[in-house]
Amino acid sequence: MTERATTTREPTLPTGIGGPLSPEQQHQLADAYAALLPRSDRIADDISVQLLDVEERWYAEHPERAAELRASTRAHIRSGIERLAGMPDSGTRSIDLWRETGRRRAQQGVPMSVVLSAYSMGTRALWEALLEVGQQREIPATVLLHAGHLLWAGLDVQNQVLRESY
């Protein structure tokens, strides 16, 4: 049996499409993400409820998993918003959360497809919340398109890290 090689370099997040944003556009986007921070627990709880609904069989018989899922989702969403808003890490790097989640879910026997689906739900929830804030703040569509590209391309990086740590 051959061992699967793992990468040793840190994955990098993408830089977006259409070239870099102007300083003003970067500021608009950072402010929009920062505006999501007070809603981060609600966003995370909505994701958790949806996950527990869709993937009930992996959590119903293990209430401790459901509690851990909720706490983990809250940490992921808060960390993601802080990173996207350009705020300093609040103690834990996002990549470390992704790695730990991959390891924990593998130990718990939660299928990788369920874990990857959770990250897709989280990305979708952040994207929808950002669009809402962007509309309220009249952020240009090109800036939101750039942000969407970063979010969805970032999901690819998350999935890579999860697969390697699972």
pLDDT tens for the chain, 166 residues: list them: 444 444 444 444 445 555 688 899 999 999 999 999 999 999 999 999 999 898 888 787 888 888 999 999 999 999 999 999 999 877 778 899 999 999 999 998 889 999 999 999 999 999 999 999 999 999 999 899 989 998 999 999 999 999 999 9
Amino acid in the structure at residue 147: A
pTM of the shown model? 0.82
The three-state secondary structure class of 86 is coil
Using alpha carbons only, how large is the chain's radius of gyration in Å?
Answer: 16
What is the maximum span of the chain, computed from C-alpha positions, in angstroms? 56
The CA distance from 69 to 143, in Å, is: 32
